[in-house]
Amino acid sequence: MHICYTTDYFLPEYGGIQTHIHELSKVAIKNGHRVTVVTSTKGQKLVEKINNINVIRIKYPKYAGLFALSGLKSRLYRIFRKIEPDIVHAHHAFSPMGFATAHAAKKIGIPAILTNHSIPIGYEAFKRLWNYFSRIFLLYQEVYNIRKYDAIIAVSPLAAEYIRVYYPKGKIFIVPPPVENEFFKVSASKRDIGFNDEDKIVLFVGRLAIKKGIEFALYSFRLISLLEPKAKLCIVGPYEKAYMWHIKNLVKNWNLENRVVFVGPVDREFLRKFYAASDVFIFPSYGGESFGIVVLESMATGTPVVATSGGALRKYIEKYGLGYITGFSPVKFARAVIQLLNNPALRAEMGRKCRIFAQFFSWDRIFSKIMDIYRWVMEK
């Protein structure tokens, strides 16, 4: 089968969607399928190969939303006619590629599906308000292109509930994002990631943005640092310079410069070592997390979680004792982190449960579900 994935975001950019599509492509190739990724570019290279994945890049303003669609639909149409995929799978609904892919595929008669990876910030608490505004977005004719997909995959029940406003009558499958098999095998010491053996590492992984709760994490870590002198907060992920300036000012003003380490983006192999070598993983998000793949990745390495809301994994974290959900109280958040830092036996027991739970989200299990959806769509 020739599968074409379309996305506004792909390597060498760093992020959850980029990683998801890269791993999905690798697993598809391993299972004997041919893969082409159609994506955006800032550089001059328009056709390349990444890990046996054929990549076609199109120049367009990917952050321009609906304004980027004018030429994109016709370009996708020409590409699909040339490469002749058996199925097209778009990623991220509310983006130029998400809007344009189904329109171009349907003109040729190619089956097309979409994965919705996201929900808006605050959707968990303000569903009615967001659903009301979403109906206003439907005044834009291009948004109706979402209804041209043969099926939609949502990464969580919340993501399915949100996309239903735009796709009221179609089939929606809920398939969680998988975790790479390599996460289960990794082992690392604190020295492997640049720390001392006696350091107690609190890890954050993700893009530095307001909704990720970095300010909340830093405020909570002020309390942690007062009670645990060996604690270090390690922040891994990409950032915008203006926002990083604000965050570093907070660190300076709160006298945390020797306790907070900004690593920036790292490759996947090195990232796995950060997860494995850390004592506690934190997920301080303010909401708007359709799933929370970084939480699952930390679990796969045996590192327990302390989270404000927990995303789609909240009920499992609470039910199976995989960490703590604290809400937005800095005191409760700090107390939970300290409890894990000072209790190695508790960390080990939670870590063991985390590994067992994460195995239900391996790529082999999830890919078979995605292939079943492909076959269902193609046989319609």
Q: What is the mean pLDDT of the chain?
A: 91
Using DSSP, state whether 138 is helix, strand or coil.
Answer: coil
Confidence of residue 127 (pLDDT cuts 50, 70, 90): confident
Is the pLDDT assigned to residue 147 strictly greater than 90? yes
Q: Which fold has domain 2-178+362-379?
A: Rossmann fold (3.40.50)
**Terminal-to-terminal C-alpha distance of the chain:** 17
**C-alpha angle with apex 174: 171 to 177, nearest 5 degrees?**
140
pLDDT for the residue numbered 22: 93
Confidence of residue 11 (pLDDT cuts 50, 70, 90): confident
What is the mean predicted confidence (pLDDT) over 275-279? 97
pLDDT for the residue numbered 63: 63
What is the mean predicted confidence (pLDDT) over 133-143? 76
pLDDT for the residue numbered 176: 92
pLDDT for the residue numbered 21: 94
Dihedral over alpha carbons 113, 115, 120, 126 (to 10 degrees): 80
What is the mean predicted confidence (pLDDT) over 329-353? 97
CATH homologous superfamily of domain 182-360? Glycogen Phosphorylase B; (3.40.50.2000)
Is the pLDDT assigned to residue 94 strictly greater than 80? yes
What is the mean predicted confidence (pLDDT) over 362-372? 92
Run of H or E including 319: helix 314-320
pLDDT for the residue numbered 288: 72
pLDDT for the residue numbered 312: 80
Per the document, the length of the chain is: 380
Strands (DSSP E) along 65-197, which ranges? Answer: 87-91, 112-116, 151-154, 172-174
Give the number of C-alpha atoms closer than 13 A to the C-alpha of residue 110, restricted to the C-beta side.
Answer: 29
Task: Dump pLDDT digits (tens) for 293-311.
Answer: 899 999 999 999 999 987 7
pLDDT for the residue numbered 139: 67
pLDDT for the residue numbered 19: 86
Confidence of residue 44 (pLDDT cuts 50, 70, 90): low
Task: Dump pLDDT digits (tens) for 176-193.
Answer: 999 888 888 899 999 999
Cβ atoms < 10 Å from Cβ of 109: 7
Give the number of C-alpha atoms closer than 13 A to the C-alpha of residue 79, restricted to the C-beta side.
Answer: 25
Domain boundaries, the chain: 2-178+362-379, 182-360
Confidence of residue 66 (pLDDT cuts 50, 70, 90): low
pLDDT for the residue numbered 41: 80
pLDDT for the residue numbered 137: 76
Same fold: 2-178+362-379 with 182-360: yes
What is the mean predicted confidence (pLDDT) over 309-328? 90
pLDDT for the residue numbered 205: 95
Dihedral over alpha carbons 313, 319, 320, 323 (to 10 degrees): 60
What is the mean predicted confidence (pLDDT) over 86-103? 93
Task: Dump pLDDT digits (tens) for 217-271.
Answer: 999 999 999 999 999 999 999 888 899 999 999 999 999 999 999 999 998 899 9
Of 228, 230, 207, 204, whose CA–CA distance to 218 is shortest? 204
